[in-house]
Amino acid sequence: MTTANAEMLEKIKSGQGFIAALDQSGGSTPKALKGYGIDEGEYSGDEEMFALIHAMRSRIVTAPCFNGDKVIGAILFERTMDGEADGKPIPTLLWERGVVPFLKVDKGLEAEADGVQLMKPNADLDALCERAVAKGVFGTKMRSVVNLANPAGVKAIVAQQFAEAARIAAHGLVPIIEPEVNIKSAERDAADRLLLAELVAALDAWTGAPVMLKLSLPTEAGLFQPLVDHPKVLRVVALSGGFARPEACVELAKNPGIIASFSRALLEDLRHQMSDAEFNGSLGGAIDEIHAASVA
């Protein structure tokens, strides 16, 4: 393990902060831009769209408040990993600020079957992992979704996540396994419990280095404590899952040992039209609020 990787590992393992999710990809980018105050009629084509989202992310990661004091990691979209800010590759810039870089590696979701949405096949995963390692990325993130408490579906989700995690870990990267339970599901609590059992079984059988888990906040506070305490888990992080930031922070604070990895709840008040002072003030307030809930 390189010195930088050892330092990143320690930061993620014991850092008092949260992980920013800056990984909206093609399908979710128009929605992210709309939230930022840029309507679809203001750009044409993917290149203009991605240039605008890159400008937004660059503004975030170069803001004075976006540093390792409270933000211990950031999850990037592939184009963001390949981009620059302040004349530096973004993973390099992040780590200079004390923020550990991660990369979203999944290719999106399959149609629902057995109450879940598996990840699409990812033939390019190994090549992408090699590029990420070369750019100084520490870990990866991949998302699938549980919509119903279907035992076969939940088992399939966890099996696929851990199979892909093994491919990723072979490159020396730390995988963030993200089987999101849909917080709008009528079977959310039962799905949480099925997922917990499958994750514990998979972790017990896992022979590699510790992994990370990114999970929806459970209906029952503290339900995921066995995962927080599991020796094969480096860190458990939570997605906001559609909760607005105040509610997401309240729910997060009920689950000791779990830290935030919020996307929309981090960025929801930021607008393209803000002055730098307004932008930095708004982002700083959001970071403070999410940090407080993460270390509560």
* pLDDT by position in tens, the chain (length 296): 677 799 999 999 999 999 999 987 767 788 889 999 999 999 999 899 989 999 999 999 999 999 999 999 999 999 999 999 999 999 999 999 999 999 999 999 999 999 999 999 999 999 999 999 999 999 999 999 999 999 999 999 999 999 999 999 999 999 999 999 999 999 999 999 999 999 999 999 999 999 999 999 999 999 999 999 999 999 999 999 889 999 999 999 999 999 999 998 999 999 999 999 999 999 999 999 999 999 98
Residues in the chain, overall count: 296
Active site residue 141: no
Active site residue 78: no
> Could you tell me the pTM of the whole model?
0.96
* Contacting residues for 9 by C-beta, under 8 A, at least 6 apart: 1, 138, 174, 234
Q: Which of 178, 180, 198, 251 is catalytic?
A: 178
Retrieve residue 188's tokens: 């959310």
Strand partners, 220: none
How far apart are alpha carbons 286 and 279 in whole angstroms? Answer: 11
Residue for token pair 């510790």: 210
Q: Which of 70, 164, 214, 251 is catalytic?
A: 214
